[in-house]
Amino acid sequence: MSPPRLTGALRSFSNVSRQEDFTEEVYDLKAKRLKRQERFSREGLTWQKIVQFFTQHLEKKEQQTATQELKNILQAAKQIVGTDFGQEAIESAAVFLFKTFYSKDQVGHEETRAIKQMFGPFPASAAEASCAAVGKVVAQVGESLVEAFVQTQSSSKTPDRGEPFGRNIAFSFDTYVLDSQDTLPWLEESEEERGLDF
Amino acid sequence: MAGARVPLDERHVTEIGPKGKERSLPALHPERKEERSFLPYKPPLEDGSPAQVEEFLEHAQFISEDLEWLLSLPHDKFWCQVVFDESLQKCLDSYLRHAPRGLDPALLSSSPAVADMHRSLHRSMFMVFLRMATHKESKENFLTPAVFGEIIYNNFLFDIPKILDLCVLFGKGNSQLLHKMIDNIFTQQPSYYGDLDDTVPSMIQVLDMILEKCGLQTGGACANEPLKLTAHNPHAAMTMNEEDLVDLVLYLCDTCSTIHSFLDIFPKACLTFHRHGFLYRLVSFYEVLIPELEKAVKKRNFDKNLQEDLWRRVSHSRRRMVEIAHLILHHTCLQPILEGSENIAASVEDLLQSFTAFLQEKRFLVDYDEEFPVGDDISLLQQAFPHLDDTRTSYLLQGVESAWESLGRRKPHPVLPMTSHQGAE
């Protein structure tokens, strides 16, 4: 809990701040993850496009293996997101796993963090399984081809973003602290006793 | 988008609407806002478990990414988000309310990951506030100043408590930038002076509340009333429970630091404080409270570390109060005198009256004189305003000497009126 603050009192006593509306929605981590998943699902690459890509780039005899690996990715996605949000959410999660692992050999710290940030706590086995399945299916067509495909699809709906505001503004992390120069000497003799002046 | 050199508030944009048809919208329009769902800030827990640290990092990472996204938006999109996204305003406000200050008893946890994340958040937050306080970002990207003033005021993008929080959180190392920001805010929207006018009595109320908790005032005293000597329990600081005393000292420390940083960064506010008699309230507050608090911190039986921390906080508060008094006097009286303003006689009278009022508050007067010698200011007055009444100035200087003597303290520098001086600062 924050220590008592002047500005806290001013927000309560004076009427110069917006009154808090407790009925307004406040987002938590769970809601934020859902929003992020929704946004991700609108970013261009879809599960259908991934399936189509492998269908187009593989011979018929190779397609059976690819189909099995893609099913494994979907299965892992299902374990991660659950079934509460339907097939669309599962497919979107499968796309996320595909994008996360298409150029990775194993589930590293970064990948674990990315999955957790998107979906919350998840079974490690599902991440391992999806990583392995993505690796196998990508190996069938070659990583460079997949890379080009993912880049094309992902950039199609990503809006242009400029240089962040303030990038070249010098910022200091200095902060007010209790300065030892301010600290007065500790005098045992009470000033009250010495300071009587009639 | 409409041609350049048109203020954002007058521009229109053509976009594809939800039904797939092209439509024209004002550049500042709620439908141009993106659904981003900013998370409110939560401070890291002191000595949090690994799971709590991880949760903080995840939470902060979301905020950090969202702020980076916001700062990368083009000017028009940035303002749509700022004006129409409630979740963003809640996020910014929660940071100002809850972000740890350098003066808080326990700063960030020892985890380097938490510290790194917090630094990144801290910077991004500041940049968002800086961008919100800037009505002209470039030749092409700007808002009509009056409209900018309305937007920030009507949407509570800035308010007085937020401005105070900004000063205490970022002011130490970024005072020049903050000064420009706050000056621009008050210049483009003078209603903030009105709000400040409404807020100063609440600050006085906070001082009264602290006194009341120490049993030093029965409450209800207004700015010009003398403090009541017949309080319920004049030694409450000695007897209240330890937690309450710690909270009280923390509150005092925060109050003094916040007001000081604000006046230091935005000295134009000194006039409003002075008009409310804040200086006199502060001085009598100091005189009554500080000896009680010092006694309580010294005599009560505390853990040694806590006792040292409380002593440092009381000392820090003392110093800030003396500096606040000097800032107010300097910017409302001394500076106009030095600049030769029209009402120089009024400023001289005001300064002399303030010093005369200090004579009754001996502890304060001595601490003030030690830091900002009254003799120097009198000497300055004598040069700037030759008609100064010598009897009055001698009375004041004798009063200062007498205050030192009555407290049994030795003055570091003797008073030498009419000698060379260093100026008011």
Where are the domains positioned within chain B? 28-101+109-189, 197-406
The tokens for B119 are: 């630094």
DSSP string, B96-113: HHHSPPTTSSS-S-S-HH
**Is pLDDT larger for residue B195 or for residue A19?**
B195
Polymer length of chain A: 198
What's the token pair of residue B170?
């970022």
pLDDT of residue A26 exceeding 90, the answer is no
Going by C-alpha positions, the residue among B199, B172, B164 that lies closest to residue B276 is B199
The DSSP bridge pattern shows strands B22-26 and B12-16 to be antiparallel
Instruction: Convert the pLDDT of each residue in B108-140 to its tens digit.
Output: 567 889 999 999 999 999 999 999 999 999 999
Q: Which of B41, B57, B72, B297 has the highest number of chain A CBs within 10 A, making it the mutation to test binding with A?
A: B72
pLDDT at A137: 92
Mean of pLDDT values over B238-251:
92
Check residue B119 and give its pLDDT: 95
Q: How far apart are CA B263 and CA B297, in angstroms?
A: 28
Phi and psi torsions of B228, nearest 5°: -80, 135
User: How many C-alpha atoms does A72 have within 13 Å on its Cβ side?
Assistant: 19
The per-residue pLDDT for range B355-394, each reduced to its tens digit, is: 999 999 999 999 999 999 999 999 988 888 888 889 999 9
pLDDT of residue A82: 85
Query: Which of B75, B177, B257, B101 minimizes the C-alpha distance to A171?
Result: B177
Report the range out of A86-95, B15-24, B247-256 with the highest average pLDDT.
B247-256
Q: Find the CB nearest B295 among A6, A162, A190.
A: A190
3-class DSSP string for B212-237: HHCCCCCCCCCCCCCCCCCCCCCCHH
Long-range contacts of B332-341 (CB under 8 A, 24+ apart): B332/B270, B332/B271, B332/B274, B334/B377, B334/B380, B334/B424, B335/B424, B337/B380, B337/B381, B337/B384, B337/B385, B338/B380, B338/B384, B338/B423, B338/B424, B340/B384
The tokens describing B109, both together, are 């946890």
**CB contact at 8 A, A137 and A149:** no
DSSP A170: -
More confident residue, B193 or A24: B193
- Name residue B224's amino acid: N
Short-list A127, A137, A135, CA closest to A76? A127
Report the gap between the CA of A179 and the closest CA in chain B (Å): 7
Best probe of the B interface among A176, A190, A191, A194, by most B CBs < 10 A, is: A176
Bridge partners, B15 (sequence order) = B23
In angstroms, rounded to a whole number, what is the distance separating the alpha carbons of residues B175 and B167? Answer: 8
Q: Assign 3-state DSSP to chain B and report helix, strand, coil percentages, each to 5.
A: 65, 5, 30
- B127/A169 CB distance under 8 A: yes
Q: Which of A8, A165, A183 sits opposite B311 (nearest CB)?
A: A183
Q: Which residues contact residue A32 at a Cβ distance below 8 angstroms, ignoring those fewer than 6 apart?
A: B37, B39, B62
Flag whether residue A168 sits within 8 Å of chain B, measured between CB atoms: no
Provide the pLDDT for residue A197.
Answer: 39
Where exactly are the structural domains of chain A?
A: 29-154
> Which residue type sits at B220?
G
pLDDT digit string, tens, across residues B291-332: 999 999 999 988 989 999 999 999 999 999 999 999 999 999
Residue A109, chain B, CB below 8 Å: the answer is: no
Q: What is the pLDDT of residue B425?
A: 35
Q: DSSP letters along A17-82, please? A: SPPP-TTS----HHHHHHHHHHHHHTSS--HHHHHHHHHHHS-HHHHHHHHHHHHHHHHHHHHHH-
Q: What is the count of residue pairs from A and B with beta carbons less than 8 Å apart?
A: 199
Q: What is the least distance, in Å, from the CA of B345 to any CA of chain A?
A: 34
Predicted local distance difference test score (pLDDT) of residue A84: 81
For residues A174-196, give the mean pLDDT.
67
- pLDDT tens figures, A148-165: 998 888 765 555 567 899
* ∠ CA B320-B322-B327, rounded to 5°: 90
Cβ under 8 Å to A: B residues 292-321 = 294-295, 298, 309, 311-313, 315-316, 318-319
CB A166 within 8 Å of CB B72: no
Tokens at B355, concatenated: 């010093």
Q: Which of A132, A67, A134, A58 is nearest to A94 (CA)?
A: A134
Answer yes or no: is pLDDT of B414 > 80. Answer: no
Maximum mean pLDDT: which of A66-80, A124-138, A175-189, B153-167: B153-167
Provide the percentage of residues in chain A whose pLDDT is more than 70. Answer: 88
Q: How confident is the model at residue B1 (pLDDT cuts 50, 70, 90)?
A: very low
Q: Does A84 touch chain B (CB under 8 A)?
A: no
Among B102-116, B193-207, B226-240, top mean pLDDT goes to B193-207
Query: Residue A172: pLDDT above 50?
Result: yes
The answer for residues whose C-beta is within 8 angstroms of residue B332's C-beta and 6 or more apart is B270, B271, B274, B347, B350
Chain B closest CA to A169's CA: distance in Å?
Answer: 9
User: Which of A43-52, B56-65, B372-381 is the least confident region?
Assistant: A43-52
ipTM of predicted complex = 0.90
- Output the pLDDT for position B161: 98
- CA geometry: angle B354, B356, B359, nearest 5 deg: 115
- Residue B115 buriedness (CB in 10 A; 0-12 / 13-18 / 19+): middle
B195: Cα separation from own chain's centroid: 14
